[in-house]
Amino acid sequence: MGVFARYPQYRPRSNSVETIDYRVSDCFRRSMNGTPLASETYGTTDADNSVVVVLRHGGIPIGMDTPMWAKYKFGEFFKIHDGVTNAPAVRNPFSKVKAGELPIPGMALDELSAKGVLFGICNVALTVHSGIFAKSMGLRADAVRQDWVASLLPGVQIVPSGVIAVNRTQERGCAYCGVDRRQGARSAGAAADADSGAVASAAGAVCGTTL
């Protein structure tokens, strides 16, 4: 989370100011010896690609509606800044956004879901983090978890384990690429450490990010 808000940014490796889409493509080009993301490169449409995004650890708030962000101060706890206010987010800045709020048009969760992208959210992360919040707020852990589950955005499905979900999707022929808010792009095999994982099959691919 917060990855979009940090771009464009200067990168010493390329000695240039890079956009988020260039950085993602460079992940495929350098870390995975693949082809940069571009519909003109593959000659495919959204319908030709199968994409699964698994939200884990600090990525789980992305799957919840705005009221939870204000109620539990997700932005402050998970260190997610709203690109519009430049302050800790009290809304979900990755869903139902206005034009220009995200660096890449069409990348909001609801927009990606409408294109057929599948979203999973780690049950382990939900349980652990709801317990942490409950303890700090003097609430029952099961009540907080129930509140979070009830607020999941349309299309977000709970999976038993984020790591296993990523592995199962890879078993079906998908490739993995993840971005961690601490270290940027990660290549295959980093699922255990990434804040969220994403896998893509068919001719196209998408970078899994903590958004």
CA distances from 166 to 16, 35, 40, 198, 207 (A): 33, 21, 27, 7, 13
pLDDT value at position 110? 92
Residue from 8, 47, 44, 14 nearest 29 by CA: 14
Query: pLDDT means per 10 residues in the chain (211 residues)?
Result: 64 77 69 55 68 88 95 94 90 91 85 89 95 96 97 94 85 69 33 38 36 30
pLDDT value at position 126? 95
CA distances from 23 to 93, 155, 197 (A): 21, 27, 17
pLDDT value at position 194? 35
pLDDT value at position 205? 35
pLDDT value at position 182? 42
> To 10 degrees, the CA torsion angle through 72, 76, 79, 83?
100
Residue from 140, 112, 120 nearest 204 by CA: 112
pLDDT value at position 4? 56
AA letter at 115: K
Indicate the pTM of the whole model: 0.68
pLDDT value at position 146? 97
pLDDT value at position 92? 95
